[in-house]
Amino acid sequence: MDTESRVGVVVVSAGRGTRMGTRESKQYLLLQNKPIIIHTLEVFERMPLVEEIVLVTGADDIDRCSAWIAEYGLRKVLKVIPGGRERQESVYKGLMEIGTEWVMVHDGVRPFVEPEHVLACCRQAQLSGAAVLAVKVKDTIKQVSESGIIEATPDRRSLWAIHTPQAFRLSELKKAHELAEADGFTGTDDSMLVERMGVSVAVVEGSYTNIKITTPEDLAYASFMLQHKGEKNT
């Protein structure tokens, strides 16, 4: 891969979600005796496309994450840094440690993203400027008022559920974060910040198996997926 196409990855793993109902943070729970975050990092470690990885985690978790990275031989994880108060701040801190022209941002609790979809997302970003993985919405979506009354039913054919990774030119994503910070704006994902600058973001179709593990049900499904994957490889 030429120099201009080098890609870095910021893996965001600093959250303390409560929906899992466990004392341990979800990204450090075990799947087949391996922390979820390590499963996620291994996807990018194995990809020739990826040159460097920065893991953003909680300040109290840096030592154990660093120990796992050494234990599992993840040579592309160049830095493990503490995150901020919110995800947006954590991403920006990760971006400041990336040295490649292009960057992908990925959730630490999405360990099942397919390498071919990661590659497709990155290639699309390099063609059009920015891209995100997503899947078409299956269910009918209703817009509901605060009082619980349906106000509108958007056309399902135009709706997509946005996943990660999301891929951008590093300089552009940094600028988007800095403008958002200056304006006091908090987005729900990184593409939202880039969209505010008038940049078009392409959607690349991914897989419904690229789940974000946030609840006990997700964890049970993740265990099933790993077992099934192992059976297919035997």
Kindly report, residue by residue over 125-140, the tens digit of the pLDDT: 999 999 999 999 999 9
Which domain does 16 fall in, by range?
3-232
Which DSSP category does 100 fall into?
A: S
The predicted pLDDT at position 63 comes to 95
d(CA 107, CA 190): 11
**pLDDT score of 52:** 98
Residue where the block lists tokens 């893996």: 11
pLDDT over 90 (residue 204)? yes
C-alpha to C-alpha distance for 138 and 159, rounded to whole angstroms: 9
The bridge status of strand 34-35 relative to strand 77-82 is: unpaired
Query: Minimal CA–CA distance to 168: which of 115, 224, 91?
Result: 91
Residues 98 and 44 sit within 8 Å (Cβ to Cβ)? no
- The pLDDT value recorded for residue 19 is 53
pLDDT digits (tens, 9 = 90+) for 72-89: 999 999 999 999 999 999
Q: How many domains does the chain have?
A: 1
The model's confidence at residue 33, banded by pLDDT at 50, 70 and 90, is confident
Return the structure tokens found at 230.
């192992």
Mean pLDDT value across the chain: 91
Q: Which pTM value belongs to this model?
A: 0.91
Q: Residue 18: its pLDDT value, please? A: 52
CATH number at residue 71: 3.90.550.10
Contacts of 18 (CB under 8 A, 6+ apart): none
